[in-house]
Amino acid sequence: MLTINSVPIQDTFAEAFPMTAVRLILTAETPGWARTAAQTATGYAASVIGCDAEAGIERELAPDETPDGRPGVSILLFSFSRDGLQKAVVNRVAQCVLTCATTACFNGLAGDPGKTIRVGGNLRFFGDGWQISKFLDGKRYWRVPTMDGEFLCEDVFGTVKGVAGGNFLILGQSQAIALAAAEAAVEAIRQVPGVILPFPGGVVRSGSKIGSKYKALRASTNDAYCPTLRGAVASALPEGVNAVYEIVIDGLDLAAVEQATRVGVRAACRPGIVRIDAGNYGGKLGPFHLHLLKLLSETV
């Protein structure tokens, strides 16, 4: 069995699935306001099981990295279809970015010209006829009057077929130990470009399984990994495990999710971690299988 820092790595794989992804570059007069817009726009977007999208902050951007030379933040959003993604993006930009002081919104992906979503073109109507369209370097932008000046938003945004649902499980001796390892994994993964961790703080306490005893629910608690249910269900927990946290990774491509898995698992292998595992559903959930032993044996 492969071990990292004496922590055993389970011979299993995580299942991931395709989703349509978009990158938004949000800028503002200060890093704080750009961050506020990004945090608000990515709120309540942990899982498409119950949200309109999965979303998160990719990274903060220096002024020389943004289209308008101001501080910025890059965010990624994922949905099962372009139509669903457009609806989620338009709603979130309208409610959380347009309303945020001094912000502007730009497309962050080249994408396929035939696979775009319209954002500024839908938000322009808020200008009540006072909106102005401008072409610059072959791109259309909309300028919408606001009480602090104007909101600038690019008309169309490129999309790509991303990979969502990459994951691994951290099995620890205690809640504090498992959480510290999860936090270390999050810190390491956030250095990898092209990925987000959509759940609160990047950590999932409520891992799920497909289906439920209640017909209305598509998913329910992953009882095999709940310490309080040991003895009442077919537990997957080895002796000594009293807390489990899951790290879920969405990325613009499979390579990014694989690299995030590598660095995250390695960072999580700390004293008190009993095992690293992954959530899979027998190959039925998604076509992308991230085999832990193979990934962690590779040097990238």
The percent of residues above 90 in pLDDT, for the chain, comes to 90
Please determine, for residue 284, whether its predicted confidence score (pLDDT) is greater than 80. no
Please determine, for residue 214, whether its predicted confidence score (pLDDT) is greater than 70. yes
Please determine, for residue 289, whether its predicted confidence score (pLDDT) is greater than 70. yes
Please determine, for residue 217, whether its predicted confidence score (pLDDT) is greater than 80. yes
Enumerate the CATH 3.30.70.520 domain ranges in the chain, comma separated: 3-15+164-297, 18-160
Question: Which two three-digit tokens encode residue 288?
Answer: 């992308």
The whole-model pTM stands at 0.94
Would you state the CATH architecture of domain 3-15+164-297?
A: 2-Layer Sandwich (3.30)
- Contacts (Cβ under 8 Å, ≥6 apart) of 265: 4, 9, 168, 185, 276, 292, 295, 296
Can you tell me the distance from the alpha carbon of 269 to that of 184, in angstroms, rounded to the nearest whole number? 9
pLDDT for residue 80: 96
pLDDT category at 282 given cuts 50, 70, 90 is: confident
Please determine, for residue 300, whether its predicted confidence score (pLDDT) is greater than 70. no
Instruction: Give tens-digit pLDDT for 223-257.
Output: 999 999 999 999 999 999 999 999 999 999 999 99
pLDDT category at 285 given cuts 50, 70, 90 is: confident
Where would I find the H helices in the chain? 31-41, 82-92, 120-123, 175-189, 254-268, 292-297
Can you tell me the distance from the alpha carbon of 57 to that of 260, in angstroms, rounded to the nearest whole number? 15
Mean pLDDT across 259-284: 93
Instruction: Give tens-digit pLDDT for 143-182.
Output: 999 999 999 999 999 999 999 999 999 999 999 999 999 9
- Contacts (Cβ under 8 Å, ≥6 apart) of 31: 60, 71
Assigned CATH class of 18-160: alpha beta
pLDDT category at 275 given cuts 50, 70, 90 is: very high
Instruction: Give tens-digit pLDDT for 34-52.
Output: 999 999 999 999 999 999 9
Strand pairing report for 149-154 and 104-107? parallel
Phi/psi for 73 (5° steps) reads: -140, 135
